[in-house]
Amino acid sequence: MLKTLFSKIVVIFVAILLVSTSITGVMLYVFLGNFVSQEKEYELNESAKIINSYLTYINENADSQNAAIHRLHMYYFEEILSTFSYNTDSVIWIVSPDGKIVESEGETRLGDEIINKLLDGGALKLPDERQYNRVMQGNEDYIRERGDFFGLFKETGVSWLTIARPLKIDEEVALAVYLHTPIPEVERARTVVFNFFIFSVFISIMISIVLIYIFSLRLSSPLKKINNAAKLIANGEFGKRLNISSSDEIGELSDSFNNMANALEKTEEMRRGFVANVSHELRTPMTSIRGFIEGILDGTIPKEKEHDYLTIVKDETDRLNRLTTDLLDLAKIESGEMELTPIRFNINELIRRCIIKMQSHIIKKNIFIEANFENEDMFVKGDLDSIERVIMNLIHNAVKFVGKEGKIILTTKKCKERALISIEDNGIGIDEKEINLIWERFYKTDKSRGVEKKGTGLGLAIVKNIINEHGQEIWVESKVEKGTKFSFTLDNATDVG
């Protein structure tokens, strides 16, 4: 049922709204019930106070008044009872300590069955001592009872609220004022307010559903676009891009998706280029080897030329071996399988050894080597074998692209907590457009610099990955026909230990 994001959002929002409004409704219902009941209780109690005050006044002035004035006061008292009975919607009794009802108002609300229960020898009397004993003890300001008043109002089928307030004369309870009102009258106000609340909740839910619908569409629509674009990319269509203008998380997700798509497209282009380059690099020497061997076997190549062609076959085999080795090393470095063993060593001494290893190539082109070492010895920390490979690659590049009787300058110096190593040549340089491409696999500047074609195009990619694995930096500065300068950093090490 809830298979779409839109339906889930609608159900969740409506559920939250219903739960929150239900809790609010229950709390409001209870609060209103208590509030209205307390208000009614307060109203009845205040009425009982006034009635008691008037009865006290009549009692205190009974001796000083003549019969006519006394009758007038009693008439007013009956009018007061009638007024309070009407205004509070209650039945009022004046009860003596023995439970007899000496005065009442609003009896018509009780019904014949209740009146018959109260009749006792022609007079009205409370039939159960529990109905008057407690209040006649005078220990409390007033008594509050809620229910059927010990069975008296049971036949009415509703609960009643009773307030009984004692009247003390000379510290003795002489009378008690009772006010009874049916609870449905108390709850009517709560019911009216609660019904209005339910209606308001219903309207709020309808409006909320409309707003949730609009909000959900705005939320799910860009997600559908992202989902569709992801499916296209999963099928190999890396050119798909999203155009979602939003400054929230959806907008950030869209930007991240586009960045991912760009990275995937670039990776796919690199993969295709890598496959094409590997195929080309492998096919060319293998074709040459096969052709020369077939020529030797079928006699196409004369006997006196076999040595020369076998030498070419050996060179091509060496080239394949270098290519395979470089590919395996690069794959190992990029996959994080290359294990570095950092040690303290003299970088100047390592450079000297590398120059000696390249001596035959240097002498062949009559290249002048200049060493600018800040100190005779400079100790650094790194993996000796991999750093030697970096230096050999960079020197080899410099030798390869510098002209005859050219110049190569090797520099080492301290730069704060690091050592800076530079290898500079005055060769034909690199075009500015190619500087950021030289670190890519199989990228050769040979096609523009056109000096030698024996490289695999992986040397600088391996160099950069080695330096990155050391957590260091490498960069290049070059100008066409002026020369090239490669620089990288290593951590300094102490001169002792």
What's the CA gap between 256 and 317, in Å, rounded? Answer: 46
Task: For residue 383, list its beta bridge partners.
Answer: 342
- pLDDT at position 487: 94
Helices (H) and strands (E) counted in the chain, each on its own, are: 12, 14
Backbone angles phi and psi of 126, in degrees to 5: -65, 125
CATH 1.10.15.40 holds for 5-189: no
CATH of domain 249-334: 1.10.287.130
Task: For residue 372, list its beta bridge partners.
Answer: 411
State the CB neighbour count (10 A cutoff) for residue 182.
19
473 Cα distance to chain centroid = 35
Domain borders along the chain are: 5-189, 249-334, 342-492
What's the CA gap between 399 and 350, in Å, rounded? Answer: 18
What's the CA gap between 134 and 322, in Å, rounded? Answer: 112
448 Cα distance to chain centroid = 51
Task: Indicate the CATH number of 342-492 among 3.40.1640.10, 3.30.565.10, 3.30.420.40, 3.40.50.2000.
Answer: 3.30.565.10
Task: Decide the pairing of beta strands 407-415 and 368-373.
Answer: parallel
Contact indicator for 407, 367 with CB cutoff of 8 Å:
yes
Q: Which of 472, 152, 367 lies closest to 164 in space, CA to CA?
A: 152
- pLDDT at position 349: 94
pTM, two decimals, is 0.47
- Here the tokens at position 232 are 């296209």
| DSSP per position, 93-159 | EEE-TTSBEEEEE-GGGT-HHHHHHHEETTEEB-S-GGGTHHHHTT-SS-EEEEESTTTTTGGGSS-
State the CB neighbour count (10 A cutoff) for residue 55.
20
Q: Is 485 helix (H, G, I), strand (E, B) or coil?
A: strand
Q: In 272-406, at which residue ranges do the beta strands (DSSP E only) sit?
A: 342-346, 368-373, 379-383
Sequence-separated (6 or more) residues with CB below 8 Å from residue 447: none
**Which string of b and e fits 120-131 if b means at least 16 CB within 10 Å?**
eeeebbbeeeeb
- pLDDT at position 407: 93
- pLDDT at position 441: 67
Contact indicator for 401, 461 with CB cutoff of 8 Å:
no
Q: From residue 438, how far is each of 279, 444, 446, 473 by CA, in Å?
A: 20, 7, 11, 15
**Which string of b and e fits 437-473 if b means at least 16 CB within 10 Å?**
ebebbbbbbeeebeeeeebbbbbbbbbbbbbebbebe
- pLDDT at position 3: 66
Residues of the chain with pLDDT under 70: 1-6, 32-36, 62-65, 185-190, 245-247, 270, 273-274, 277-278, 280-281, 334-337, 441-457, 494-497
- pLDDT at position 449: 40
